[in-house]
Each structure stands twice: as structure tokens, then as C-alpha cells.
Amino acid sequence: MILAIESSCDETAVAVIRRNQGKPGLLTSLISSQIEIHREFGGVVPEVACRNHAQRIRPLVQQALDEAGVTLDDIDAFAATRGPGLASSLLVGLAYAKGLAAASNKPFFGINHMEGHLLSPFLDLGRIPPHLGLIVSGGHTMLIDVQGYGDYRLIGHTIDDAAGEAFDKVGRMLQLPYPGGPEIEKHARSGNPKAFAFPRAVLKDAPFNFSFSGLKTAVLYQLQKLADPQDHLADICASFQAAVIDALLKKTIKAARENGHSLITLSGGVACNRALQDALIRAAGSNGMKVQPSPSSLTTDNAGMIAFAALLASENREPDDLGIGIDPNLPLAPA
């Protein structure tokens, strides 16, 4: 049984996982979100996030144990996200989990946040089949060739803004509340995706890399041309969202085909977007491929995905030394 902590950004999260008759099961996965606090500032303020993690972590660990119906004595190992993320936020969760491990003389596993996202679609299955992983979050956009647990090759990434970051920045231009992603999806439902022809970046030298900053600027210029942008809110949202989805789909399908994968996963906060999920499932289907999206409870930041990655780590490698520190830029895989 493993207790895992996630605190890389603005969600404090704790989960308890156990493998039972071969299948992993989450006994509990709690998220104490700070979104309301950061909304006032239009984005995450690291110092505020860090202070809130520090205040929330102890009661949240206790609540997780209570809800799982276990005590600290029942936990066999502790885990925490060690990167990538905000340094001051990562420090709180990592230090707390290492403290629990040190006090009980039990193993500790430091986990890569992106590996948590990447593996989350397979929590129910309990093992990692070969696939092409698309991770779309607030900080990252990545295409990864996965042969199995621990065998990852980065084949594409964003060269500027992440997909979720583009949603959040365009949301801010449109004066929508933070985070922009879910707000844009909501308004896009009643808009025309063809109303505005926003660009889809083509990167000739690196066909699997993404770029969303040109799209963001195109939206800004369009807004400046409109007498009252709020009159066109739904159409702008729909056209922007369509451009992001288009850019993600083409490269994902091509990457899957070129790497011999018939299974594609979709994870990270932007994977919540139904229009993206539906479009990817349709595009994959017409290419004879299947899509395994991350379950909705494991898409935006959570500790369930960190617990699952830690469970696999405990079954496949040695624990980490307690001297291990955070790494805000921890890479997931070699290119």
C-alpha cells in the first residue's frame, strides 16, 4: 500500500493505492484545489501556492488515511512528485512524504509528474502496453513513444506555449475566469469553428513539435479588429479550439503511424476537453487506431496518477535515497 502526494502546482493532492488480486485500486484520491484563490490573480502565484500547500498537506494526509480506512502503520511506502513543476510547491509535498518515510523507516519513491499523466489512462488495466502518448497540460505538450513501463522516447514537444497555456492565455484575452480551458470549451459549444481562420503551425524541421504562440497572437490581432469582441465570444472560442485540436490531431496520428502504434493515449488537463477527445477518437478510428483517454478523475492534477506511477516504480525499481531533491525541470525521457 502506497501513500502518494502531489503538489507540483496549485493542487494539493493525496492518494492511497494498493494492488489487490493483480489489479491496482485507489482507496482514496483527494484534491484540495486552490483555483479559487489564484483566480483573483488570473494565474498561479507560486508563493501563495506554496503557503497553501504547507497549510493543507497535514490535514489532507490524515483525511486520506481516514477515508481509506487505514493508518500510517498500514502504508508500505511513500511517494511524491519531485518535478517538473514550481520549485516552492514541489518542495512541500516532497519534504512531507520524505519525512513520513524517514520517521517510519519505510521506502520512498520520487515520481515524475509527467510520468503520472502519461500512465494514468492505464490505472484500471494495471500495466502499460505499447502506445503513443499525447500529454496536453498547462505546462507541457508532448508526444511520447512508449514501449512499456519506464521505456519512453520523446518524439515531439511544444517549442513555445503548452496547449493548456494557450487556452489560459486566450481565456485571459477574452476576460474569462482562470483557468481558461474549461471556459473556452463551454463557450465554443455554441460557436462556429469556421468563423475565423486561425493558423495551424507547421514546423518543417521538426514535424512532431508543436507551436501555439502564433495562434495566440492571431487571436489577439483578430480581437483588436473587432468592434466588440464579446459579441463574437462563442465563434472566437470555437475557432481557436478547432485550431488547437487540428494541430494536435494531425501530428498525433502521424506519430502513431510512423512509430507502429495502434493505441493512442490522451492525458493531462486539456484531455478533459470533450471536443478534443471526440475528434481524436474519430481521427484514430478512421486510421484503424484506438484511443484510451485518461479517466476524468485523473486528467487535471491529482495524486491518484502519482500513486499509480509509484506502485509501478515499487514493482520495477529500487526506492530513492532520502537525499533526493526536487527538480523543477525534471525531463521525462530522452529524445
Q: Is 191 in the site for ligand KG4 (CB under 6 A)?
A: no
User: Are 48 and 38 spatial neighbours (Cβ–Cβ below 8 Å)?
Assistant: yes
Q: Which is nearer to ligand KG4, 235 or 301 (CB)?
A: 301
The least CB distance from residue 312 to Zn ion, in Å, is 18
The least CB distance from residue 305 to Zn ion, in Å, is 8
User: Are 135 and 43 spatial neighbours (Cβ–Cβ below 8 Å)?
Assistant: no
Q: Which is nearer to Zn ion, 161 or 301 (CB)?
A: 301
Residue type at 294 in one-letter notation? S
SS3 content of the chain, % helix, strand, coil (to 5): 45, 20, 35
Q: Is 301 in the site for ligand KG4 (CB under 6 A)?
A: yes
Binding site for Zn ion (CB under 5 A): 137, 301
Helix 163-173 to helix 233-258 angle (10° resolution) is 170
Q: Is 133 in the site for ligand KG4 (CB under 6 A)?
A: no
The grid cell for 6 is 502531489
Q: Which is nearer to Zn ion, 259 or 265 (CB)?
A: 265
Out of 83, 110, 121, 164, the only residue in the binding site for ligand KG4 (CB under 6 A) is 164
Q: Is 108 in the site for ligand KG4 (CB under 6 A)?
A: no
Q: What count of residues does the chain have?
A: 335
Out of 29, 52, 292, 300, the only residue in the binding site for ligand KG4 (CB under 6 A) is 300
Site string for ligand KG4, 314-333 (x = CB under 6 A): --------------------
Q: Is 304 in the site for ligand KG4 (CB under 6 A)?
A: no
Residues in region 8-37 near ligand KG4 by CB under 6 A:
9
What is the CA angle 232-233-237, rounded to 5? 115
CA-to-CA distance for 279 and 246, rounded, in angstroms?
9
* Three-class secondary structure of residue 262 per DSSP: coil
* Contact of residue 24 among Zn ion, ligand KG4, none (CB under 5-8 Å per partner type): none
Pairing of strands 151-157, 263-267: unpaired
Q: Which stretch binds ligand KG4 (CB under 6 A): 63-71, 137-145, 150-158, 201-209?
A: 137-145
User: Are 56 and 6 spatial neighbours (Cβ–Cβ below 8 Å)?
Assistant: no
Residues in region 269-288 near ligand KG4 by CB under 6 A:
269-270, 272-273
What DSSP character marks residue 321?
P
**Who contacts 182 (Cβ-Cβ below 8 Å, separation ≥6)?**
272
Q: Which is nearer to Zn ion, 271 or 283 (CB)?
A: 271
The least CB distance from residue 181 to Zn ion, in Å, is 12
Q: How many CB atoms lie under 10 A from the CB of residue 244?
A: 27
Q: How many chain residues interact with ligand KG4 (CB under 6 A)? A: 19
Binding site for ligand KG4 (CB under 6 A): 9, 137-139, 164, 167-168, 179-182, 185, 268-270, 272-273, 300-301
